[in-house]
Amino acid sequence: MSNPVFDFLQELINLMATKFSGKGDVPVTEDSKDAYKWLLEQMKIPKNKRVADVNGPVMHNGKIYIFKYNAKYKDKLAYWDRHPIVLFLGYQQGAEGKLAVGLNISWYPPEARKFIVEKIREMYKGHYESAMKKDPNDAIGQRPVLIDLYTLKTAMDSIGLSFALRTYIPGNMMKPQVCIDYEDWDKAIRLDTPRIFPELQTKGKQMDDIYKLFRDYVKGYRENMAVNKAKLDKNKKLQKYTFIK
């Protein structure tokens, strides 16, 4: 029987050798501009369900959110995103209390972002299809999809794709905060218009610099696979996991 996490990992490993290590970035296209215009139009519709206002601090697993964020340690961070686009993966306890964990897909170059989000979606295809069938185009009403955070992180860690995994302090999330329905994820992963998504707060860094950090992060993992695997195996045995970046 096929193991979706194993299949996901194998496809990522095969892809690493050809795509994510290249130079240069995909330019902003009319496609991404259209996605941004679509988002703005949807946010203006009163009581919209496709791009819905989130009332309350609780997010649902397996959904994509866009929110305004005020990083607590912004003075120490080399860069941070004031408006992250997050595939929410659950909560965990941290030094600051309960932390929201998710993939800020803005940090991936467009090519990597599209591949990773679509592969995660395929892993839980039955759950997403069932939720859309029951509550079509209803971002809040659609059933959450419980993604195995530890299994996913271990798979992504093993080849360096945990670069965009971040934690957020719920109390530092501010309006506007919206959830995008499952049917419109194709638009969410195209939101890469410069100076808008992500809206960077940096110490001299631009998106090209962050994409280069991603590639260097991947390259470092690929060049030290044995060492990193040993660390992962040890942490798994000790039940220690590091999520915060």
What pLDDT digit, counting tens, does each position of 11-41 carry? Answer: 555 554 445 444 444 444 556 678 888 888 8
Rg of the chain over all Cα atoms, to the nearest angstrom: 18
Task: Tell me whether residue 168 is exposed, middle or buried, using C-beta atoms within 10 angstroms of its C-beta: 0 to 12, 13 to 18, 19 or more.
Answer: buried
> Average pLDDT, whole number, for the chain?
78
Residue 168 has pLDDT above 60, yes or no: yes
Does residue 73 lie in a domain region? yes
Does residue 64 lie in a domain region? yes
Does residue 245 lie in a domain region? no
Does residue 244 lie in a domain region? no
**What does the alpha-carbon distance between residue 236 and residue 230 come to, in Å, rounded to a whole number?**
10
Instruction: Write out pLDDT tens, residues 48-107.
Output: 999 998 876 678 999 999 988 988 888 888 778 888 999 999 888 777 688 899 999 888
115-119, 137-141, 175-179, 237-241: which has the minimum mean pLDDT?
237-241
Instruction: Write out pLDDT tens, residues 204-216.
Output: 677 778 888 888 8
Domain that holds residue 61: 4-238
Tally the domains of the chain. 1
pLDDT of the residue at 162: 78
Q: Give the burial string for 130-148 (b: 16+ CB within 10 Å, else e).
A: ebbeebebbbeebbebebe
Does residue 217 lie in a domain region? yes
pLDDT of the residue at 204: 67
pLDDT of the residue at 22: 47
Does residue 89 lie in a domain region? yes
110-123: average pLDDT? 84
Identify whether the C-beta of residue 110 lies closer than 8 Å to the C-beta of residue 27: no
